[in-house]
Each structure stands twice: as C-alpha cells, then as structure tokens.
C-alpha cells in the first residue's frame, strides 16, 4: 500500500494519539477509517470532527485534540528551518522522512494528489516535525511527561554519538603493535601477497578527559533532568570522565552518573536529599573543586564543562578568580547556561568581560538543539 494513502496516514495519526495517552483500540481505528471513507474527496474539517468524536473519551482529551491534529496534519503552518534539528541529527530517519514529505504530502496528498486542494490546506509535513519542534522547545515549558522523557532519552543518545567521532579511524605508522592489513596487502602485491613489508596503525587521537560540573540549585530545577541525562551520556563516552554537582556545596557524583539503568539513576538522585537544596554558591563550589579535586582530575588534556545559570550569591570577583585558577590547569572550559535560550538575555548580560576571556565556549542549554551545538564542539575539541 502506498505510504501516502488516507488509510495509512489516518492509522499513523491514531498511533500518534495512542502515544499521547488516548485510549484507542483496534475498533476505534477501524471506525476512523470508515468515517474517513464517507468523505470523497477527504475534507480536513470533516476528518477533524469525526476523529475527535471517535477518539476522545473525556473533556481533557477533547481540549487537547485540536492541537494534536494541527501538529500532525499541518506542521508546515509553523515554518521549519532548513537545517536538520537536533532530533534529526540523532536519528537520520526523521530527517529523511521530513525531506520525503516536503511539498504536498501527508493529508494534502491523501486528499488531492493533483494539487487542487493544496492552497487551501497549506503544505503538510510528517510526524518528524513533532520531533523538530520538541528539539527546539525550552525544556521548562514541556509539561507532558512523555515529551520530557523522550527529550531526555534523545539528549543521552546525542551525547553517545560523540563516541563515533572520538574513536573513528586509525592512522598508518612505521612501527606499532597492530598490523594495518589493507595497507600491508597493497604494499606486498609485488611479492605475490607474501607479507615482506609490514604496515602498522594506531588510534588517530585519544579522547580528552571530561570534567562535568552541574548546578543543581532550585533555579536550575526545571533543566536538571535534561542536563543529567546529557551528562550521563557523556560519561559513558569519555572513559575517565568525572562528574560533580553543586549548589551551596560541591558533591562528587561520578558513581551515580555511571549508573547503567536510567530509572535507577533517577531514583538514586532523588534519594540524595542533600543534592537538592536552595541557594547557589558557584564561586565557592569551584574553589572547593580547585582545592580538592583539580590536581587529580584536571590536566592539559581535560575539558571542563560548567552548567549553571550564573545566579550566584558569591561575588563576581570570587567567581572570576576561581575560573582563573581552573583555567591554568584545563585545556578548555565550556560554560552552558539555560538562560541564554530566553529572549532578551545574551552573553554580555550573563558573563562579565573578564570571565568571557577565560571561557573557550559559551552556549545555551535550554533545549536539545542547544545541547547539540555543545556536543559538536566537544567532538571537535
């Protein structure tokens, strides 16, 4: 059956509603297909009314239905960027699906293959546009738990993609412990394949050491789940990475972040009540890190990632001094600030010039798309 027939698109929409918590079974799906067959050509408002009556079982679902219908069938009414979203970067199938459906697709193609209905219902995309929208959404505005968990999982998968960049390819060397079979066979073609001249290979580069410093104060509470999953993914990529969290004090949580099961990690973090307090003392926490841990974990191949909104009860001078001491040891320092994703807030407002000069990368951390920029920087650092 062609992918753009009304039956396939309606069945896919019903599955999307089921993922949103609608209690829809096989009978409701068959009834939806029968209702759609009553309209020839298929009319958008007729389909909306019929599906809403068949799939909504309470007032809350009734009020949510219109937004879900628009997001699925008419995503092009909210213009999409040309470049891939973070979600499409993580899962290329989403990008391929969006490109496949560029132009008249989805409901428009199912209703009118000859384009006569296209001007009235606009350009229609595919389900990938939902991932595109969510990946650019500020995490604090995602109230649906399914969406929150989905973005958290994508953030972790995004971090794991760096592994391919860090361990890709080996280079040919004159001497080594591992033979480069392809080069050796090509070099010995003149000898009939007898390996007289050996060629060796070694890893092109060694992954840097990562140090993760995450602000878990109350002002960062809405972003903590997203950043925690992203940090957990990074610790699975960097073999000798270390993780710390801070509010008014500093805590080493490397063992927690290396927890294999994500749900177990969430429960272990929630059980540590001392990790979730009110205030923020960034300067004092960094000074504690410099005093007790920097000598052991930070060297000239270390990348330090600081995640904080910068709301500090310590003085700016103390913060600048703590970062200066850390700068003397680290190879690079990244500062990710969720506030930079809000309108009207820029780097100049959040970071004084003396602090900006000591940071190698400053970026937002409010959405999956913003974390993708940081991941790209880490992969190339």
* Per-residue pLDDT tens over the stretch 289-334: 999 999 999 999 999 999 999 888 889 999 999 999 999 999 999 9
Are 371 and 293 members of one domain? yes
Report angle CA 367, 105, 1 to the nearest 5 degrees: 115
**Would you tell me how many other CB atoms lie within 10 Å of the CB of residue 312?**
20
Q: Which domain holds residue 116?
A: 6-89+102-134
Q: Is 157 contained in some domain?
A: no
Are 250 and 370 members of one domain? yes
Q: Is 155 contained in some domain?
A: no
Q: Is 319 contained in some domain?
A: yes
pLDDT of residue 86: 58
156 near 109, Cβ under 8 Å? no
Are 337 and 195 members of one domain? no
Q: Is 225 contained in some domain?
A: yes
DSSP 353-376: HHHHTT-SEEEE-SSHHHHHHHHH
Question: Does the pTM of the predicted model rise above 0.75?
Answer: no
At 263-286, the pLDDT tens digits run 777 777 777 766 665 678 999 999
Are 218 and 310 members of one domain? yes
At 171-184, the pLDDT tens digits run 777 788 888 888 88
pLDDT of residue 305: 97
Are 44 and 186 members of one domain? no
Tell me the mean pLDDT in the region 19-40.
81
pLDDT tops 70 at residue 373? yes
What is the total count of domains within the chain? 3
pLDDT of residue 268: 79
What CATH number is attached to the domain comprising 219? 3.40.50.410
- Count of residues in the chain: 381
Are 225 and 313 members of one domain? yes
CA distance 268 to 364: 27
Q: Is 368 contained in some domain?
A: yes
For the ranges 83-97, 106-120, 162-176, the maximum mean pLDDT occurs at: 162-176
Are 188 and 324 members of one domain? no
At 43-53, the pLDDT tens digits run 788 888 888 88
Q: Is 16 contained in some domain?
A: yes
**Checking phi first, is residue 193 left (phi over 0); if not, alpha (psi -120 to 50) or beta?**
left
Question: What string of H, E and C letters represents the secondary structure of 220-256?
Answer: HCCCHHHHHHHHHHHHHHCCCCEEEEECCCEEECHHH
Are 185 and 259 members of one domain? no
Are 358 and 285 members of one domain? yes
Are 199 and 333 members of one domain? no
Nearest to 233 by CA among 128, 379, 113, 349: 379
Non-local CB neighbours of 243 within 8 Å, separated by 6+ positions: 212, 214, 231, 235, 252, 253, 254, 256, 257
Are 273 and 177 members of one domain? no
Are 194 and 225 members of one domain? no
DSSP structural state of residue 284: H
Q: Is 176 contained in some domain?
A: yes
350 or 96, which is more confident?
A: 350
At 199-238, the pLDDT tens digits run 888 766 667 899 999 998 888 888 988 999 999 999 988 8
Going across the sheet that includes 200-203, the strands are 170-173, 200-203, 178-179
Q: Is 72 contained in some domain?
A: yes
Q: Could you tell me the two tokens for 247?
A: 């509010």
CA distance 198 to 176: 10
76 near 123, Cβ under 8 Å? yes
């Amino acid at each position: 059956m062609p992918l753009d027939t009304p039956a396939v698109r309606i069945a896919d929409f019903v599955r999307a509603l089921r993922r949103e918590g609608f209690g829809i079974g096989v009978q409701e799906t068959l009834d939806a297909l029968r209702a759609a067959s009553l309209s020839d050509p298929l009319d958008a408002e007729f389909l909306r009314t019929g599906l809403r009556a068949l799939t909504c079982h309470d007032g809350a679902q009734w009020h949510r239905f219109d937004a879900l219908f628009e997001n699925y069938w008419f995503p092009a009414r909210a213009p999409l960027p040309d470049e891939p979203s973070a979600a499409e970067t993580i899962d290329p199938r989403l990008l391929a699906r969006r490109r496949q459906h560029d132009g008249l697709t989805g409901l428009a193609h199912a209703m009118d293959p000859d384009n006569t209905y296209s001007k009235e219902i606009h350009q229609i995309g595919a389900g990938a546009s939902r991932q595109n929208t969510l990946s650019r959404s500020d995490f604090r505005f995602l109230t649906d738990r399914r969406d929150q968990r989905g973005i958290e999982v994508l953030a972790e998968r995004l971090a794991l993609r760096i592994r391919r960049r860090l361990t890709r390819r080996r280079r040919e060397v004159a001497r080594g412990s591992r033979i480069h079979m392809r080069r050796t066979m090509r070099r010995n073609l003149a000898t009939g394949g007898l390996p007289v001249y050996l060629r060796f290979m070694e890893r092109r580069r060694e992954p840097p050491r990562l140090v993760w410093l995450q602000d878990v104060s109350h002002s960062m509470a809405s972003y903590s789940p997203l950043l925690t999953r992203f940090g957990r993914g990074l610790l699975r990529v960097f073999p000798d990475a270390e993780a710390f969290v801070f509010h008014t004090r500093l805590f080493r949580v490397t063992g927690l972040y290396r927890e294999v099961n994500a749900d177990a990690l969430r429960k272990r973090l929630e059980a540590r009540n001392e990790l979730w307090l009110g205030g923020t003392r960034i300067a004092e926490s960094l000074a504690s890190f410099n005093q007790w841990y920097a000598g052991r974990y930070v060297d000239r191949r270390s990348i330090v990632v600081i995640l904080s909104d910068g709301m500090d009860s310590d003085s700016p001078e103390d913060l600048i001094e703590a970062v200066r001491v850390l700068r003397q040891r680290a190879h690079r320092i990244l500062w990710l600030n969720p506030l930079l994703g809000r309108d009207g807030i820029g780097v100049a407002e959040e970071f004084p010039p003396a602090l900006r000069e000591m940071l190698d990368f400053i970026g937002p951390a409010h959405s999956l798309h913003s974390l993708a920029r940081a991941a790209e920087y880490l992969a190339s650092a």
